[in-house]
């Protein structure tokens, strides 16, 4: 949303929101592609750590149980390989996780730095009218939100997508060795669950869009939607001109409508639209 607003988009409605999300994702993906030497380990090492912690260690325990159930020896020499294998996999998984977090922190730091430069370049390319219709604090908040969104994107992609897809592929290979039908059932249940959850996700998105929509019907960051603008609009007019400041400058003050009228959405300081 921030990049679309900086490029001149209105940011109102779901189509504009969809374009903004796609534009932001394209920028985020460019960041990952530009620094793939650190982003690739950041994405894959936690997934490999999950395989060691939650998939290989149960196989070691299952092998130990099978050994004991089959009448194998239970002395220290016979059990030591299983114990050492279990401990080695646990330590390897923890080490992979910590290495992945190190690369992920570097990815987030460099990505936020680069996106901040991109946001400022987009902002400096705007004309004066753009700054008249947007508050400076709102523009800063948009850029910070755009940059901070990359961290959420990278964390979600690492911990919720890649960290589950790679272990799931590994589990599918193991299950295929026993019976292919197990893999079909596993993937079928995942797809079925996705179809059940999708309507609730869409419904939640509609509620979020309704909650974020400004009540006055225009951009919440527009000066015409701010309480300060509405209060100044109810003040008495001053010869049909914007009130001058103490220094004689009128660029930072709002145009005041006639008593009993309020500015409509779409008004600006230079061209107010009042209604009773």
pLDDT for res 125: 84
In which residue ranges of the chain is pLDDT below 50?
A: 1, 5, 8-12, 217-224, 226-235, 237-254
pLDDT for res 139: 84
Report the chain's C-alpha Rg in angstroms: 29
Number of alpha carbons in the 13 Å side-chain half-sphere of residue 211: 6
pLDDT for res 48: 96
Number of alpha carbons in the 13 Å side-chain half-sphere of residue 234: 5
pLDDT for res 11: 43
pLDDT for res 120: 87
pLDDT for res 135: 81
- In angstroms, the CA 45 to CA 90 distance is 14
Three-class HEC string of the chain: CHHHHHCCCCCCHHHHHHHHHHHHHHHHHHHHHHCHHHHHHHHHHHHHHHHHHHHHHHHHHHHHHHHHHCCCCCCHHHHHHHHHHHHHHHHHHHHHHHHHHHHHHHHHHHHHHHHHHHHHHHHHCCCHHHHHCCCHHHHHHHHHHHHHHHHHHHHHHHHHHHHHHHHHHHHHHHHHHHCHHHHHHHHHHHHHHHHHHHHHHHHHHHHHHHHHCCCCCCCCCCHHHCHHHHHHHCCCCCCCCCCCCCCCCCCCCCCCCCCCCEECCCCCCCCCCEEC
pLDDT for res 183: 92
> What global pTM score does this model have?
0.68
């Amino acid at each position: 949303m921030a990049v679309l607003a900086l490029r001149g988009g209105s940011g109102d409605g779901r189509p504009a929101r969809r374009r903004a999300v796609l534009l932001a994702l394209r920028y985020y993906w460019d960041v990952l592609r530009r620094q793939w030497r650190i982003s690739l380990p950041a994405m894959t090492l936690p997934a490999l750590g999950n395989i060691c912690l939650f998939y290989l260690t149960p196989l070691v325990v299952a092998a130990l149980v099978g050994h004991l159930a089959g009448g194998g020896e239970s002395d220290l020499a016979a059990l030591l390989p299983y114990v050492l294998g279990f401990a080695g996999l646990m330590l390897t998984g923890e080490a992979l996780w910590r290495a992945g977090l190190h690369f992920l922190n570097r990815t987030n730091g460099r990505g936020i730095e680069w996106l901040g430069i991109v946001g400022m370049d987009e902002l400096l390319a705007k004309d004066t009218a753009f700054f008249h219709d947007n508050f400076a604090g709102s523009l800063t908040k948009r850029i910070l939100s755009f940059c901070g969104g990359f961290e959420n994107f990278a964390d979600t992609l690492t911990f919720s997508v890649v960290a589950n897809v790679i272990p799931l592929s590994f589990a599918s290979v193991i299950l295929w060795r026993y019976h292919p039908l197990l893999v079909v059932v596993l993937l079928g249940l995942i797809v079925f669950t996705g179809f059940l959850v999708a309507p609730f996700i869409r419904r939640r998105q509609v509620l979020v869009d309704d909650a974020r929509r400004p009540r006055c019907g225009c951009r919440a960051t527009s000066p015409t939607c701010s309480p300060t603008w509405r209060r100044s609009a109810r003040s008495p007019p001053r010869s049909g001109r914007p009130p001058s400041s103490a220094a004689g400058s009128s660029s930072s003050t709002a145009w005041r409508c006639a008593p009993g009228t309020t500015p409509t959405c779409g008004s600006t300081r230079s061209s107010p639209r009042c209604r009773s």
